[in-house]
Amino acid sequence: MELFDFLFYYSTLWYSKATTNQFRNPPQQASYVLGISSSLYVYSLSILIEYFITKSFKSQVPIWVFMVIALVIIQLFQYIYINKGRYNDIKERYLKSNISDKKGKRLTVAFIVSGLVVCVLSIVFIHLINNA
């Protein structure tokens, strides 16, 4: 949970300074982005597990299942961090931390981008194994 606290705080900080969108507040934007990124990691893991179990490149799990999982993860982030007030608790804790805001934002962006990279590389890896 500490990883998600870190990512949520610094992505919220990033959105609070970089956003021009007046329709959502930064914690909601952070929950959307982290939910989608976490869903990409879940999707990559499921692709790898399914390939090594079934030895088939064609997925037996419909894509709508992963969409539902993504929506559940986003709602879970919103419930835990916004509705339950965990964001206020971690905000106080990370304001006193020795990690600079710039470094925290960079690590958060790296996690978000690596979710997409891991997903693409896992598909390429399985495709290469399947053709060999």
- Segment 46-71 mean pLDDT: 85
**Average pLDDT over the chain, rounded to whole?**
85
- Segment 116-128 mean pLDDT: 86
Q: What is the pLDDT of residue 71?
A: 94
**Residue written as token pair 């964001």:** 87
Q: What is the CA radius of gyration of the chain?
A: 17
- What SS3 state is found at 82? helix
Tens of pLDDT, residue by residue over 3-19, are 888 889 888 888 877 65
Confidence of residue 23 (pLDDT cuts 50, 70, 90): low
Confidence of residue 59 (pLDDT cuts 50, 70, 90): confident
Contact (CB, 8 A) for 51 and 122: no
**Segment 49-56 long-range contacts (CB within 8 Å, at least 24 positions apart):** 51/126, 51/129, 51/130
Provide the H-helix boundaries in the chain: 2-18, 26-54, 63-77, 86-95, 101-131
Q: Is 110 exposed, middle or buried (0-12, 13-18, 19+ CB in 10 A)?
A: exposed
Q: What is the pLDDT of residue 76?
A: 94
Q: What is the pLDDT of residue 132?
A: 64
What are the structure tokens assigned to 28, written together? 């909601």
- Segment 116-132 mean pLDDT: 83
Contact (CB, 8 A) for 66 and 43: yes
* Phi, psi at 41, each rounded to 5°: -65, -40
pTM over 0.75: yes
CA distances from 89 to 24, 32, 47, 82, 120 (A): 21, 20, 36, 11, 35
